[in-house]
Chains A and B, each alone.
Chain A
Amino acid sequence: MVLAGLREVAAEGGSRALWRRRSLWRWLAIGLLLTWLILPLVPLVIWSFSFSWFFPSTLPSRWGMRAWEYAFSPTASVLPALWDTIVIAGGTVFLSLLIGVPAGRALGLHVFRGKRIVEFLVIAPTIVPPLAVVLGIHVVFIRLGLADTVIGVILVHLIPVLPYVTLVMTGVFANYDPEFEDQARSLGAGWVRTIWYVMLPAIFPGLMVAGLFAFLISWSQYVITLLIGGGQVQTLPLLLYSFARSGDNALTGALSVIFILPGLLMLLLTSRFLTGRNQVIGGIGR
């Protein structure tokens, strides 16, 4: 058995030609992957700086800053929309963590009767399209005065967001050892201090990833914001859609770039928790 292993190592490490060929293929594959990932974003950026750009010009025949000037003018209400989108995403992240962390703890650490049902209920909103749910809620939200309000929009964003937060946190708590909490408490720490100094540091990477997911999902919601926000809550996706459908490509490009940046920033902040040793994203697959 050991011999077989050694033979394999010799065969793989020894054959330089094979090694180089595999390396070539790998770089080709990585090159293709990167092109595929990045290429679709290129025209967006070019369009945003174009004035007129018709087929068959590969690059705009006239460049211009019209789109960017308009995007930052008060009329376009891009900045208020950006702010609303951030407030909604922030509110959704906060609420979903507040609700999802305890649920994840219960599901990750404990075995109890009816756990499968609870798990099913938690997963269900990832399977049932939010549109189906929100169409039903709409009339009630109007009556309760929640339609057209930021609060109402945050509440409906919780529906698609909460399952992801709970799933990630379930995965995190499955690898969490509550013994430390008992030790802290036996040393006289109250529950607030225990949570703050013991639990939070331990689940921090998971919290970051769950927060990232919550942010991104809320950030990109279109149809449920449109229905519940009723046009009064203008988020970036709504604005972008309006311009995309009116065929103003330059503006659409500029708004797309503005729309991508905050998510990118969030990713930069949390990227190291997504893969590598600290990864917690597997919670969704688990």
Chain B
Amino acid sequence: MSSRFKILLLLTPALFVICVLFLGGLGLGLARSFNYMPVIGLTEPSFHAYIAVFTNPEFYQSLGLSLYISITSTVISTVLAVACALLLRESFAGKRTVTFLFQLNLTIPHVVGAVAMLFLLSQSGFLARIGYLFGIIDQPSEFPEMIYDDYAIGIILQYVWKETPFIGLIALAILQSMGDDYESVARSLGANRWQRLFYVIIPLITPGVMRACIVAFAFTFGAFEVPYLIGKTYPTVLPVLAYQSYTDVDLTLRPEAMAMALVIALISTILIVAYLRVSRRFVRFD
């Protein structure tokens, strides 16, 4: 009894924040998306905003673009992250420095990352100038389009740049806590390098890495800063579309903005639940 009370006491502040700020915010957003908010005199709920959102072709283009960007960047980041973790696990001269530099862009805000990509990758950016220096291109238009482009290459590269260390460090932490025992056993059973990688290491780090992936995916799916700065003007990603509707001076668009924000939230939640289902099938490593 007293122990249950203690647990409750420990959890209360966190639950308070989550319920009031997080769920409260979502609830208010939901009410507003139905154009219902008695405090400001809106007392007749309607589905108008959802109808407007779901009949707008731009919404589907934005949804597609958002999904494409998050999936592509998460998949690339994950593969690179696992490779980096395996690389950094081994001991070599200068490992501390390399590991520190690997952690470095964990600290760099996405806004700065976006600016960095803009300066680096635009058609008259740093790489294009280096290309000119070596006579590879003569004018900016010959440099590949990576900023404000159809395939959102700059955005994806920025996310990969930021998320690889995030997932990589988690993978590295799991690898280090795992120690050499499992591999030694596998080795003594005659497994070669690749067999050890695919049958021992990867299955062991999968649950943890997948969690990190989901976090990275959800972040990129809901992120606003990077596409806002280096994304194409049309179509744009869902969060930017929602933000534009919210800050439009036409107040009637606000419920639509809320509806879009909630659709983003809903899709993300479906993904979490799907993940929890899937992850339970994997062997847990604790």
Query: Do chains A and B stick together as partners?
Result: yes
Residues of A within 8 A of B (CB): 1-2, 4-5, 8, 26, 29-30, 33-34, 36-44, 46-47, 54-58, 98-100, 102-103, 105-107, 110, 112, 118, 120-137, 139-140, 143, 155-156, 158-159, 162, 166, 174, 216, 219-220, 222-223, 237, 240-241, 244-245, 249, 252-253, 256, 259-260, 263-264, 266-267, 271, 274-277, 279-282, 284-286
Contact residues of B between 90 and 145, Cβ < 8 Å to A? 90, 92, 98-120, 124-126, 128-130, 132-133, 140
Q: Select A1's contact among B116, B188, B271, beta carbons within 8 Å.
A: B188
Known: A131-B261, A132-B262, A240-B112. A4 touches B170 (CB 8 A): no
The residue that B116 contacts in the complex, of A40, A130, A143, with Cβ under 8 A, is A40
Say yes or no: B161 contacts A40, CB within 8 Å. yes
The answer, yes or no, to whether B147 is at the interface (CB within 8 Å) is no
Q: Is the CB of A281 within 8 A of B14?
A: no
CA of A133 to CA of B268, assembled, Å = 13
Task: Determine whether the beta carbon of A43 is less than 8 Å from that of B169.
Answer: no
Bound-state CA distance A107–B7 (Å) is 9
Q: Is B4 an interface residue (CB 8 A)?
A: yes
Known A37-B104, A127-B268, A282-B174; judge A58-B14 contact (CB<8 A). no
- The reply to whether B239 and A162 form a contact with Cβ atoms under 8 Å apart is no
Chain B: residues with Cβ within 8 Å of the partner, total of 112
Residues on B with C-beta less than 8 A from A112 are 4, 7
Of A43, A106, A271, the residue contacting B119 (CB under 8 A) is: A43
Asked whether any CB of chain A lies closer than 8 Å to the CB of B44, the reply is no
Q: Once the chains bind, are B169 and A162 in contact (CB under 8 Å)?
A: no
A281:B26 contact, CB within 8 angstroms: no
Interchain CB contact under 8 A, A133 and B22:
yes
Pair A259/B112 contact, Cβ less than 8 Å: yes
B18 at the interface (CB under 8 A from A): yes
B200 part of interface (Cβ distance < 8 Å): no
- Roughly how many angstroms separate A129 CA and B239 CA in the complex, as a whole number? 9
Max chain A C-beta neighbours (<10 A), residue from B9, B22, B120: B22
| A259–B39 alpha-carbon span in the complex (Å) | 39
Contacting residues, chain A, for B212 (C-beta < 8 A): 284-285
- B284: shortest Cβ distance to chain A, in Å? 9
Q: In the complex, what residues of A have CB within 8 A of residue B242's CB?
A: 131-132, 135
Q: With the chains together, A220 CA to B103 CA distance in Å? A: 16
Contact of B188 among A2, A39, A57 (CB under 8 A): A2
Query: Closest CB of chain B to A257's CB: distance in Å?
Result: 9
Q: Quick one: which of A126, A275, A277 contacts B103, CB cutoff 8 A?
A: A275
- Whether the Cβ atoms of B25 and A134 lie closer than 8 Å is yes
Chain B residues with CB under 8 A of A284? 170, 211-212, 215
Q: Complex: how many Å from CA A118 to CA B40?
A: 33
Q: Which residue of A lies closest to B246 (CB)?
A: A135
Cα(A249)–Cα(B88), bound, Å: 35
- Asked whether A264 lies within 8 Å of B173 as measured between CB atoms, the reply is no
- Give the residue name and chain of the A residue nearest to B9 (CB): A102
